């Protein structure tokens, strides 16, 4: 057992003991606003009228804790978090608990989406203490910010006991807490240390195959996703496995990815009426979702389903892309072309009480009334039966048959089925608009916007829908005009016309990637130049020269107990993995050995752990494929470059880097390749090109040989 974990578990039990009943009284009337009333984060504003004297995370608040020598409560959550709302109602709206917190602690509320840097530090501490983590995240720290206790959701009685005993221990024996904090803080600092790998590493297909074999043991080949429950969409996993299966002719894994994409789209995790995916399903068959809808999930899933459509030409995947984008444009897009963060899991039910999923579920009687003669067919299609039932006579729409199977069973024509399905969705969508919508988190995050921007680019490539490209360009221009500062740095957040919070490495990584993707479909080198400028800023202010990896915070940040390094790929790929891929691509565009060497070193640094634990490094594995399998630079030069590029985009080609121009260009991959009389396509490897060709089919034969 890790010594920090052992010590922490001891400390947790010392404080918690057995839960006791609380005698506190609920808050009976609305409190005066606390300091959060001045914030812009929707999550922080949700807590602005709690009787707890919440403050935001900033230098002034941290200094106040030192000046008053008080412990700090650091409570982290996000606006779409159901259990965050539960703990607020039970504890943070309670007058007696608020009095206890206000008298003994400096209380800081943190929006994890707005301040992922703070969340990382204290999540690491809680993981060391308890072996797991989640939200709400509640941590108690010394006046200097070093953590001494933490966990996730606590009942009212547990939280009362924790507050009483930690505050008493700090009064009676502060040295005991300080000694513990020193050990725990050291553990937090060492939690994600990356050692430089100076050994020579050969990135080989055989080694990669062994890692994939380990990966396969965790996959659910029947229901899709990973084994067990809950089930999370993991776009990075699926993106890697789709590419790996394609480049290594692995039908088993290709079929697994297709199965996963179908099962997710059939499930209640996908909104069958208005499109868009929820965060995860609580069961093992994608049926009952945790109902919040997050921008970062939907942006990445639009990319993934677009790529799957390129490969399979399965029109159902095309439908999912279009419907998900319709959801984004209807619910999560601002008039400025920016994308909002999320829709809450909770909404008001008919009794005007917040209830998880109230906006999305249906009773059988409601459906009979709305659909009339169509009900029996609808019932079979969406399982209004024991399979689709949730609780209290509520149903979450859930498919178990493909459209083809349903059409054949009921002897319908394709046209009749399509018309009928559209009629059902329109009726239910119209009825649902009479309900109160889930709460919207309308802050705009740079990194998440970049993920959605890339989703639009991938959808444009796959579906050749010019409107999707235009949306991507509008969003990219929004980032440049609002989130890019004059010194070349980025802001992280934007709301109500105001940009705030210095950007994190995730903002730079995903924006650079999005701009590189945008260049590859527009051939407008302004996006390539922007990407390069952002990379150079990142190198100057985020790079750890000793390890060759990037810190999550810039060298301008100062109020955290340590600078973290994000390496593990989760639902969102790690900033280091994405930056390494961006360096690889920029290195090829400019024949820049500094970029190429650093990308190689970063992959070497994680290589051993990546091969042992592949599920935590799937975006890194995607980069590994660039080295272990053929990778091509495709240069298109000539007056018809755009036309040929659109033809090329129809195919799934994950192992190419595109450059192009309709005239002379100084970009190394295009230099001296322009011919005014014809448009030529060059397929190259590390700058060395094959014989130029004039048709996409000929170029494809060189790539896919």
For residue 98, what pLDDT is reported? Answer: 96
- Long-range contacts of residues 171-180, Cβ cutoff 8 Å, at least 24 apart: 177/142, 177/148, 178/142, 180/7, 180/11, 180/148
For residue 30, what pLDDT is reported? Answer: 53
Please choose, from the candidates 74, 34, 79, 537, the residue with its C-alpha nearest in 3D space to the C-alpha of residue 295: 79
Q: What is the CA radius of gyration of the chain?
A: 26
Tell me: the pLDDT tens digits for 53-62? 999 999 999 9
DSSP 291-349: --EEHHHHHHHHHHHHHHHHHH--HHHHHHHHHHHHHHHHHSB-TTS-B--EE-SEEE-
Phi, psi at 685, each rounded to 5°: -130, 115
For residue 160, what pLDDT is reported? Answer: 96
Arithmetic mean of pLDDT, 173-197: 91
Kind plus residue range of the DSSP H or E element containing 43: helix 42-46
Question: Which of the pair, 348 or 642, is modelled with greater confidence?
Answer: 642
Alpha-carbon distance of 15 to 157, in angstroms, equals: 13
Arithmetic mean of pLDDT, 687-701: 94
CA 140 and chain centroid, separation: 27
Angle at which helix 575-590 crosses helix 618-628, to 10 degrees, equals: 30
Alpha-carbon distance of 67 to 49, in angstroms, equals: 25
Tell me: the pLDDT tens digits for 368-379? 999 999 999 999
For residue 31, what pLDDT is reported? Answer: 59
Arithmetic mean of pLDDT, 388-394: 91
Alpha-carbon distance of 190 to 339, in angstroms, equals: 36
- Structure-derived torsion over alpha carbons of residues 285, 611, 564, 556, reported in degrees to the nearest 10: -110
CA 208 and chain centroid, separation: 25
Phi, psi at 217, each rounded to 5°: -65, -15
Query: Are residues 260 and 225 in contact, defined by beta-carbon separation less than 8 angstroms?
Result: yes
What ranges in 347-413 are assigned the alpha helix state H?
364-371, 375-382, 403-409
pLDDT score of 20 more than 80: no
What ranges in 445-501 are assigned the alpha helix state H?
446-463, 466-478
Tell me: the pLDDT tens digits for 60-78? 999 999 999 999 999 999 9
pTM to 2 decimal places = 0.93
Return the number of other C-beta atoms located less than 10 Å from residue 633's C-beta.
Answer: 21
Percentage of the chain modeled with pLDDT above 90: 89
What ranges in 173-226 are assigned the alpha helix state H?
174-190, 205-216
CA 430 and chain centroid, separation: 30
pLDDT score of 10 more than 70: no
Please choose, from the candidates 583, 576, 584, 587, the residue with its C-alpha nearest in 3D space to the C-alpha of residue 547: 576
Positive or negative torsion for Cα 137, 143, 144, 148: negative
Arithmetic mean of pLDDT, 99-116: 97
Arithmetic mean of pLDDT, 94-113: 97
Phi, psi at 186, each rounded to 5°: -65, -40
Could you tell me the two tokens for 553? 């915070």
At 581 the three-state DSSP class reads: helix
pLDDT score of 457 more than 60: yes
For residue 353, what pLDDT is reported? Answer: 87
Alpha-carbon distance of 546 to 565, in angstroms, equals: 13
Alpha-carbon distance of 274 to 428, in angstroms, equals: 9
Indicate the pLDDT class of residue 24, thresholds 50, 70 and 90.
very low
Contacts of 434 (CB under 8 A, 6+ apart): none
Specify the length of the chain in residues.
Answer: 705
Indicate the pLDDT class of residue 159, thresholds 50, 70 and 90.
very high
Tell me: the pLDDT tens digits for 272-292? 999 999 999 999 999 999 999
Alpha-carbon distance of 268 to 360, in angstroms, equals: 9
Question: Which of the pair, 353 or 304, is modelled with greater confidence?
Answer: 304
Query: Are residues 16 and 138 in contact, defined by beta-carbon separation less than 8 angstroms?
Result: no
For residue 239, what pLDDT is reported? Answer: 98
For residue 12, what pLDDT is reported? Answer: 42
Could you tell me the two tokens for 411? 């002897």
For residue 19, what pLDDT is reported? Answer: 32
Arithmetic mean of pLDDT, 199-217: 95
Tell me: the pLDDT tens digits for 522-557? 999 999 999 999 999 999 999 999 999 999 999 988
Please give the mean pLDDT across all residues of the chain: 93
Tell me: the pLDDT tens digits for 25-45? 334 355 589 999 999 999 999
For residue 347, what pLDDT is reported? Answer: 87
Alpha-carbon distance of 127 to 150, in angstroms, equals: 9
pLDDT score of 409 more than 50: yes
Contacts of 95 (CB under 8 A, 6+ apart): 24, 25, 26, 27, 28, 51
Indicate the pLDDT class of residue 491, thresholds 50, 70 and 90.
very high
Buried-state track 26-55, b at ≥16 Cβ within 10 A, e below 16: ebeeeeeebbbeebbbbbbbbbbbbbbbbb
Please choose, from the candidates 231, 210, 208, 209, the residue with its C-alpha nearest in 3D space to the C-alpha of residue 219: 231
For residue 53, what pLDDT is reported? Answer: 97
Alpha-carbon distance of 612 to 630, in angstroms, equals: 24
Strands 293-294 and 289-290: unpaired
Arithmetic mean of pLDDT, 663-684: 94
């Amino acid at each position: 057992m890790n010594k920090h974990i052992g010590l922490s578990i001891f400390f947790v039990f010392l404080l918690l003991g057995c839960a006791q009943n609380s005698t506190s009284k609920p808050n009976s009337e609305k409190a005066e606003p606390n300091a959060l009333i001045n914030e812009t984060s929707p999550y922080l504003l949700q807590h602005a009228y709690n009787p707890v004297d919440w403050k935001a995370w900033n230098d002034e608040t941290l200094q106040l804790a030192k000046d008053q020598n008080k412990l700090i409560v650091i409570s982290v959550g996000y606006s779409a978090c159901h259990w965050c709302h539960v703990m607020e109602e039970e504890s943070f709206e309670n007058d007696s608990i608020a009095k206890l917190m206000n008298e003994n602690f400096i209380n800081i509320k943190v929006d994890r989406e707005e301040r992922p840097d703070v969340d990382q530090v204290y999540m690491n501490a809680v993981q060391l203490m308890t072996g797991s983590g989640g939200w709400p995240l509640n941590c108690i720290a010394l006046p200097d910010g070093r953590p001494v206790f933490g966990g996730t959701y606590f009942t009212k009685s547990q939280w009362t006991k924790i507050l009483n005993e930690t505050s008493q221990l700090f009064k009676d024996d502060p040295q005991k807490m300080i000694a513990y904090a020193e050990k725990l803080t050291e553990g937090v600092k060492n939690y994600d240390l990356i050692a430089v790998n100076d050994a020579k590493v050969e990135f080989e297909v055989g080694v990669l195959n062994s890692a994939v074999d380990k990966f396969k043991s965790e996959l659910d080949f029947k229901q899709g996703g990973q084994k067990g429950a809950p089930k999370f969409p993991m776009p990075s996993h699926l993106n890697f496995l789709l590419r790996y299966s394609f480049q290594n002719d692995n039908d088993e894994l290709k079929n697994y990815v297709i199965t996963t994409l179908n099962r997710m789209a059939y499930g209640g995790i996908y909104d069958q009426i208005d499109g868009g995916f929820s965060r995860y399903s609580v069961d093992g068959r994608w049926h009952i979702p945790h109902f919040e809808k997050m921008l970062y999930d939907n942006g990445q899933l639009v990319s993934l389903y677009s790529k799957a459509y390129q490969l399979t030409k399965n029109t159902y995947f095309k439908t999912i892309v279009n419907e998900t984008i319709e959801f984004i444009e209807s619910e999560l897009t601002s008039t400025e072309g920016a994308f909002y963060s999320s829709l809450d899991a909770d909404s008001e039910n008919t009794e005007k009480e917040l209830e998880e999923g109230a906006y999305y579920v249906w009773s059988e009687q409601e459906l009979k009334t709305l659909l009339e003669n169509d009900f029996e067919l609808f019932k079979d299609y969406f399982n209004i039966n024991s399979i689709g039932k949730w609780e209290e006579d509520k149903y979450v729409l859930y498919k178990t048959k493909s459209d083809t199977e349903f059409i054949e069973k009921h002897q319908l024509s394709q046209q009749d089925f399509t018309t009928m399905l559209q009629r059902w969705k329109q009726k239910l969508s119209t009825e649902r608009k009479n309900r109160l919508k889930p709460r919207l988190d309308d802050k705009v995050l740079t990194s998440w916007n970049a993920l959605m921007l890339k989703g639009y680019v991938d959808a444009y490539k796959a579906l050749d829908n010019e409107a999707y490209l235009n949306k991507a360009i509008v969003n990219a221009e929004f980032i440049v005009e609002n989130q890019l500062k004059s010194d070349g740095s980025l802001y992280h957040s934007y709301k109500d016309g105001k940009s705030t919070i210095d950007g994190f490495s995730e903002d730079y990584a995903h924006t650079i990637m999005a701009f590189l993707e945008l260049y590859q479909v527009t051939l407008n080198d302004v996006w390539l130049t922007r990407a390069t400028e952002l990379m150079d800023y990142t190198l100057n202010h985020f790079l750890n020269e000793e390890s060759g990896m990037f810190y999550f915070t810039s060298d301008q940040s100062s109020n955290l107990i340590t600078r973290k390094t994000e390496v593990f790929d989760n639902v969102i790929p790690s900033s280091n993995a994405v930056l390494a891929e961006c360096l690889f691509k920029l290195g090829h565009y400019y024949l820049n050995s500094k970029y190429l060497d650093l990308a190689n070193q970063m992959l070497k640094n994680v290589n051993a752990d990546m091969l042992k634990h592949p599920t935590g490094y799937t975006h890194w594995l995607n980069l590994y494929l660039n080295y272990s399998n053929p990778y091509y630079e495709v240069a298109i030069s000539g007056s018809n470059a755009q036309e040929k590029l659109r033809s090329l985009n129809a195919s799934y080609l994950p192992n190419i880097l595109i450059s192009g121009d309709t005239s002379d260009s100084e970009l190394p991959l295009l230099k001296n390749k322009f011919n005014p009389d014809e448009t030529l396509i060059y397929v190259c490897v590390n700058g060395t090109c094959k014989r130029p060709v004039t048709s996409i089919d000929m170029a494809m034969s060189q790539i896919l040989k």
